[in-house]
Amino acid sequence: MIFSRRRVNRALLVVAACMAFSPGAAIAQDKWPSRPIRMIVPVAAGGSLDVVARIVAQHLGEALGTTVVVDNRGGANGTIGNNLVANAAPDGYTMLASTGQFTGSAVLYKKLPYDPVKDFAPVTQIARSYGLVLAINTDVPAQNLQEFIALAKKHPDSMNFGSAGEGNITHLAGALFNNLAGTTIQHVPYKGSGPAFQDVVSKQITMTFVSTSGGLGAIKAGKVRPLAISSPTRAPVIPDVPTFEELGLPGMNKINGWYGLWYPAGTPQAIIDRVQAAVAGFLATPAVKAQFEELGLIAMGTTPAEFSKFLVQDLADQGELVKIANVEPQ
């Protein structure tokens, strides 16, 4: 069958019109991003997540040619901020920056206002920490981990550890340590990791677990005594602190900190891929790597598929740790 030129042109116009209304073309027409992007951070300003988020927001904005605004929405162990993103329009203008608190909440709460798997689209794992450092107050007569474990077993009623609250990773770290070391060090929950760490510094409690970013200054100043770190490898910022694995407690490497980026489910894959590529790009630069290293963090920039796989494993690990800590989901 032979078509006239007019009929062919008309058919091409119809195809073009259909393409104009496809999701991919809509993104192109909209020239995304055409306005500022909001990055929800589900904790108060000032903590390590807030610092990481602001570094990412600055560089991501530059890479995309827009402004990325950090919006701190703390409360309810991160669920308030998470829920805002879960219910946001999947148009690429609202994203979530969070930590292992995201998967932690999924195992700590029986009923969440969102589904942590179905309502979010993982973008990338931004960074991971070198784990947590077991830090004791300097009055404790133990110079290394072996001496500390022996002391804790000899005087079980005189030892305690502070955490950022029931079910927090610092609580789970202490419970896992007790389980692996055969100790019964008592848990003292605080309203944050900062107050718990400060009470170790001021010698009000025996020990806590602290991130390299949160405790580096006090560790280097000799205000606390670091005994071991939960990373599989030593942290360059405190190279003299051995890993738990070196000291015979390899199971402690399940305790690690990480930072990630999500979009609401349904966000076009083209946007997700563009953001991931931008983040991976600037995380690989020497200047940004150095920023993260100063915080005691390892820059990542994984693909959405890699991050999704990691989240599945982390959910399983968090569930196991909650059981060890005898924390009842609320």
Domains 32-129+257-324 and 132-254 share a fold: yes
Residue type, 279: V
pLDDT at 15 over 60: no
pLDDT of residue 17: 39
Mean pLDDT of all residues in 29-35: 82
pLDDT of residue 150: 97
Annotation: CATH topology of 32-129+257-324: D-Maltodextrin-Binding Protein; domain 2 (3.40.190)
pLDDT of residue 157: 86
Q: Which residues of 281-298 are buried (b: 16+ CB within 10 A; e: fewer)?
A: ebbeeeebbebbeebbbb
Domain ranges of the chain: 32-129+257-324, 132-254
pLDDT at 20 over 70: no
Lowest mean pLDDT among 18-32, 55-69, 149-163: 18-32
In the block, tokens 């770190």 appear at 229
pLDDT of residue 30: 61
- Which residues, other chains included, contact 251 with Cβ-Cβ below 8 Å and sequence gap of 6+? 176, 180, 244
- Helix or strand or coil: residue 292? helix
48-64 and 212-220 helices, crossing angle to 10°: 120
Q: Cα 41 from chain centroid?
A: 11
- Which residues, other chains included, contact 239 with Cβ-Cβ below 8 Å and sequence gap of 6+? none
Task: Kindly state the DSSP code that residue 289 receives in the 8-state scheme.
Answer: H
Domain 132-254 in CATH 3.30.70.100: no
Averaged pLDDT score across all residues of the chain = 88
Q: What is the rounded CA–CA span in Å between residue 265 and residue 57?
A: 21
Query: Tell me: the pLDDT tens digits for 163-203?
Result: 988 888 889 999 999 999 999 999 999 877 888 999 999 99
Query: Tell me: the pLDDT tens digits for 267-312?
Result: 999 999 999 999 999 999 999 999 998 888 899 999 999 999 999 9
pLDDT of residue 108: 85
